[in-house]
Structure 1
């Protein structure tokens, strides 16, 4: 997917792309390629692959969630090189974004991206998701929490649902095995105060694979003991 095809697909799907936003995506790609030679951000670096499997894939959340209505806060857990939150911020500049990642080098890269793209209202935090989820300043404060291919659903639910405010939503972006993962995670989601709302399944263009946008609504406050200590959710999922 070259930049022109990327733009055409977004326009076809009714997503708000402009010349200025296309320039930001171009600069983002250049920084990703440049920094990837110094630190391992992603295995996907070719232009057409990045536009399809990182940029477009990240923006598919906007096909199922209307980020343009009102001012929303979004926390991206384990964002890596900034996916899906930076593409979403480019497309929806009014979004207030918080990115949490456990690797300082990735946060350093994102600081450069935010500055170069002139993005405002973006908070970048170097922290473990388990510790961050227990921080009273951030816990249960976000309209949306996103995670893209970070861990299994039962683990993701424990890392992300504590951050969602009651009435908000956790948006999990997953690949083909999502339905089985979701079934395994039903108990964990309920324990953490969530309720499964939807599992939107679709294929990326150019036969690039099956994707799922899983919407989980926060119905009740998460019990205080979650998330557990760093490493515990992965070792012993709920």
Structure 2
């Protein structure tokens, strides 16, 4: 079985249907990323089956959510391109923006996207709490996704300002999400969001529990948010 076929099979088990072209693009991206990963730390997951499950399938679990198909997606703290690159492959008509604070990671991801023929991805080297005040990006996106970047309270303050009204913020979390939500509710509300649904799922044959926390943008975020990161961290930074 080829790597592309393995990816398609793993996705199909989660009711994610890929075309052969999409399967091959994901396989090519994985191979290229693992090669670059020898010199630039893009992922700690280097075993093929684990990579497919924890990076590719995990990213594409957003596609089975009950949310309108996006035209614009922002991936905050993309790292090695997850979940943004798999989403760009799955939604070729969507414009996907990858944001990260490490320029060399973004350069590597951008080069890989060019190599696999992915033309709907752009990268921005910036801090999210600063970029969210840029009129070109504030309240412009259908989806914003963040995967294990910070706790829920911090993420809500930084991510929700990017969304248009009716847009969706997806926080991708592990099994210890409940404590984060207990402290994150206030931040969600202040920034114009409403917690809509929590979707748990297992990876690696039920060995790993992940959840997707879906937050809907219902109101405009007050202009003062997000605050400088020092202020955000003073209030929420002790939460794990």
What band does the TM-score fall into relative to the shorter chain?
A: over 0.9
- Shifted more, 131-140 versus 198-207: the winner is 198-207
Partner of 1:59: 60
Deviation (angstroms), 1:107: 0.8
- Shifted more, 33-42 versus 138-147: the winner is 33-42
Deviation (angstroms), 1:232: 3.2
**Would you say the 8 A contact 2:10–2:52 is kept in 1?**
no
**Would you say the 8 A contact 2:191–2:221 is kept in 1?**
yes
RMSD: 1.7
- Shifted more, 228-237 versus 141-150: the winner is 228-237
SS of match in other structure, 1:207: coil
**Would you say the 8 A contact 1:7–1:17 is kept in 2?**
yes
Deviation (angstroms), 1:199: 0.6
Structure 1 residues 31 and 14, CA gap change in structure 2 (3 angstroms):
same
Instruction: Give, in whole Å, the separation in 1 of the partners of 2:205 and 2:7.
Output: 12
Structure 1 residues 49 and 231, CA gap change in structure 2 (3 angstroms):
farther
What TM-score results when the alignment is normalised by the length of structure 2? 0.92
Partner of 2:80: 81
Number of equivalent positions: 235
Partner of 2:145: 146
Q: Deviations over 1:48-93 (max 9, x none)?
A: 11111101111111121456x4x51110100110100101111221
For structure 1, the 5+ residue unaligned runs are none
For structure 2, the 5+ residue unaligned runs are none
SS of match in other structure, 1:93: coil
Partner of 1:183: 182
Deviation (angstroms), 1:233: 2.1
**Would you say the 8 A contact 2:156–2:191 is kept in 1?**
yes
Deviation (angstroms), 1:5: 4.1
Deviation (angstroms), 1:12: 4.2
Is structure 2 residue 208 aligned with structure 1 residue 235?
A: no
Partner of 1:42: 43
Structure 1 residues 30 and 231, CA gap change in structure 2 (3 angstroms):
farther
